[in-house]
Amino acid sequence: MVVAIDLKLYVESWEMKDPIVVSRGTYSQAQLVVVELTRNGVIGRGECCPTAHYGESVDSVCEQIRGIRSELQQDLSRQQLLESLPPGAARNGIDCALWDLECKEEGVSIWDKLGLQKPERLATAMTVVLGETDKMAEKAREFQAFSTLKLKLGPLQNAQNLRAVRAARPDARLSIDPNEGWTPELTQDLAPVLDEVGIALIEQPLPAAADQPLENMALPAPLCADESFHSSADLPQMHGRYRYVNIKLDKCGGLTEALNILELAPKYDLIPMVGCMFGTSLAMAPALVVASQCSFVDLDAPLHFSEDRDDNYTIKNGEYLLNSSSVWGG
């Protein structure tokens, strides 16, 4: 007999330590949705972050999730979920809750369930948000424990900001993220400065709808698709334009699809990295599974909140200590 799954949703507001400034706006708090699935007294949880830039809101995501309540009660599988909902935050919340529920029901960790070796620790990049040049350099020095820094950049003061951060952290691996805020001309003009300071990765410089000029652009570092890339269905279009694709569970719609991307990306000569929207340790836990297979890891979201969940991960010397929390995945 199929035992029905009980669905509950919780909408939570999380305050930032400091406002997060990127080229398209400033964020002082995040609205997160927690999905809770219960079967036979066992509870699985998933967390997702609705993203307005992708046409999502808390209300729309909750409506999507509630819309498949009856399918969940009929024992909807994770593979069936891929067909029931499109990529996005709603599917991510349900998918991760299903993984958590299965692990707890089976009494295994997510690592054992997937046949993966669990690392003791995983390093993450730390984001230096867009701001005045001296402030960005100050933050770069403050984040001394992080071996990789990601710089948020905009249309102005890029050369000054890049040189100041490099002077502050000559030891760091630097990536940049203009969040679609550049033009082809600006991207090309900044190429000598990017080469001078030794940028390791350039993430989504042009708008997703207008990134075709990147195909023929000579740049000193590989390009990574973020806003242009959501799910495995986008992989063919990324080939030849980008070298990396940024897997975010809230974009692709969960760990199940993220694992598909990890498997399929090399067939298109693409290298996966892992990033995140806003989220607590509950959202980072499934992303850390993806991170174990990536060389670029950008999962610093919990560090930007004023607080994290009670069963949070310890991050020491820029690294997640994976045995420090059992917040998700068995």
Catalytically active residues, by annotation: 152, 248
> Can you name the residues that pair with 30 across neighbouring β-strands?
14
Which residues 6+ apart lie within 8 Å of 207 measured at CB?
180, 227
CA–CA distances in Å: residue 240 to residues 145, 225, 231, 235: 35, 11, 17, 10
Instruction: Name 220's Cβ contacts closer than 8 Å, sequence gap at least 6.
Output: 191, 194, 195, 199
Tokens of 185: 């001309």
For residue 218, CA distances in Å to 184, 240, 271, 312, 321 come to 11, 13, 19, 42, 39
**Helix axis angle, 58-66 to 89-106, nearest 10°:** 50
The partner residues of 29 in beta bridges, in order of sequence, read 15
Q: Which tokens hold the place of 304? A: 């930007």
Instruction: State how far the Cα of 166 lies from the Cα of 150, in Å rounded to an integer.
Output: 12
Under 8 Å between Cβ of 128 and 174: no
Residue 112, exposed/middle/buried by CB under 10 A (0-12, 13-18, 19+)? middle
| CA proximity to 201, closest of 69, 110, 295, 99 | 295
* Crossing angle (nearest 10°) for helices 158-168 and 133-142: 30
Residue listed under structure tokens 């690294």: 319
**Cβ contact 210:181 at 8 Å:** no
| Position 123, amino acid | A
